[in-house]
Amino acid sequence: MSRRRVAVVLFNLGGPDGPDAVRPFLFNLFNDPAIIRLPWFLRRPLAALISSRREAAAKANYALMGGASPLLPETHKQAAALEVALVEQLPGHVARCFVAMRHWHPLTGEAARDVSAFQPEEVVLLPLYPQYSTTTTASSLKAWRKTHAWNPLRKDAWNASYWNPPVPRRTRAVCCYPVEAGFVKAYADGIQAAWEAAGSPSPVRLLFSAHGLPESVIKAGDPYQAQVEATAAAIAERLPGLPDWQVSYQSRVGPMKWIGPSTDAATIQASREGLSLVVAPIAFVSEHIETLVELDHEYAALAVENGCPSYTRVPTPTTVPDFITGLARSVVQALKQGEDICAGSAWTCPDGFTCPRRKGELP
């Protein structure tokens, strides 16, 4: 009896794989309608202008990491670790993980072709964004839907090529996992280890830093900020020795008002209060430019300039066993439930926020 084939597609933002890829990566990023919400005939020239103006500074930042983003190799490591975890959690199945990046190779279409060649009976879409946002998860899932010819009468029918007959497969997505037990434990343990390695400085403030969003996106019903705050609260609950904590948001660009407080402002404030800082980037599960440059260089220098006694940045969980086990658990839940899920089941979007499942943004 043949074993059922399961394809798990890991979604992430992507990053340039060399200096020549920096400008086209930036163009793809700012040409994403989920990032710049303008008609295409306005968005494309604006994306070209922004990518041209930001190319030199971005290249300098990527040079600090060897000239390229480490996000793709980090994601491949996660895919390999997840395949191993799924061997144990999915007996009787053959599970293979595929990587789909939103703004640089391997792009969604490339991943879709690889999935089609694998010929799975079931597909689970697994964004590597723990907290759901229209700018990340929804954008990746929308790109996946566009890559396929969907049968409007059958949710589980998709086809990677217009010229081939539809092949029935069950496809579902893991919506988000802001309080998933393995994810929370991996970060809590990482924070505790980083604090102890720094000599357990006191007094200390734990700063939960997440990528920021324009305030208008949140006001439109995006649950991202509520989920980030839920993640922080769940992690802090496991850390009774670090009671002083705060959520902040980094990576602001443009003139729009963004959610706050900003990580740079929070860093300055804590430093001037004479507090040591332990910074945990809880919206990220692998290392890339926001962690290795923005947090490790820019904000670390800002802390020193303002008198911070000790600045410690917590590593992302990447392939920490608890985190990978949590991802595997999410895949298994999706397969068993036969529907899109918010992994961990302890999370429900508060009233007033748009549930992506009710809105129909998931496959």
CATH code for the domain in which residue 158 is found: 3.40.50.1400
Range of the domain at 156: 4-13+70-173+321-359
- Report pLDDT for 338: 74
Q: Are residues 133 and 204 in the same domain?
A: no
Number of domains in the chain: 3
| Statement to judge: residues 244 and 292 lie in one domain | yes
pLDDT of residue 241: 86
pLDDT in the model for residue 348: 79
Are residues 185 and 303 located together in one domain of the fold?
yes
325 and 297 in one domain?
A: no
For residues 51 and 58, what is the distance between their CA atoms, to the nearest angstrom? 9
Q: What is the pLDDT of residue 149?
A: 47
Do 211 and 287 share a domain, yes or no? yes
Can you give the pLDDT at residue 160?
42
Residues 49 and 187 both lie in one domain: no
Q: Do 267 and 212 belong to one domain?
A: yes
Q: Are residues 81 and 203 in the same domain?
A: no
SS (H, E, C) the chain: CCCEEEEEEEEECCCCCCHHHHHHHHHHHHCCCCCCCCCHHHHHHHHHHHHHHHHHHHHHHHHCCCCCCCHHHHHHHHHHHHHHHHHHHCCCEEEEEEEEECCCCCEHHHHHHHHHHHCCCEEEEEECCCCCCCCCHHHHHHHHHHHCCCCCCCCCEECCCCCCCCEECEEEEEEECCCCHHHHHHHHHHHHHHHHHCCCCCCEEEEEEEECCEHHHHHCCCCHHHHHHHHHHHHHHCCCCCCCEEEEEECCCCCCCECCCEHHHHHHHHHHCCCEEEEECCCCCCCCHHHHHHHHHHHHHHHHHCCCCCEEECCCCCCCHHHHHHHHHHHHHHHHHCCCEECCCCCCCCCCCCCHHHHCCCC
**Together in a domain, 226 and 327:** no
Per-residue pLDDT of the chain (363 residues; tens, 9 = 90+): 358 999 999 999 999 999 999 999 999 999 999 998 899 999 999 999 999 999 999 999 999 999 999 999 999 999 999 999 999 999 989 999 999 999 999 999 999 999 999 999 999 999 999 999 999 999 999 999 888 644 433 344 444 443 343 444 689 999 999 999 999 999 999 999 999 999 999 899 999 999 999 999 999 999 999 999 999 999 999 999 888 999 999 998 877 899 999 999 999 999 999 999 999 999 999 999 999 999 999 999 999 999 999 999 999 999 999 999 999 999 999 998 877 777 655 677 877 777 666 565 666
150 in the same domain as 8: yes
- pLDDT attached to residue 26: 95
pTM of the model: 0.92
Residue 308 shares a structural domain with residue 340 = no
Q: What is the pLDDT of residue 155?
A: 43
Whether residue 236 is found in the same domain as residue 332 = no
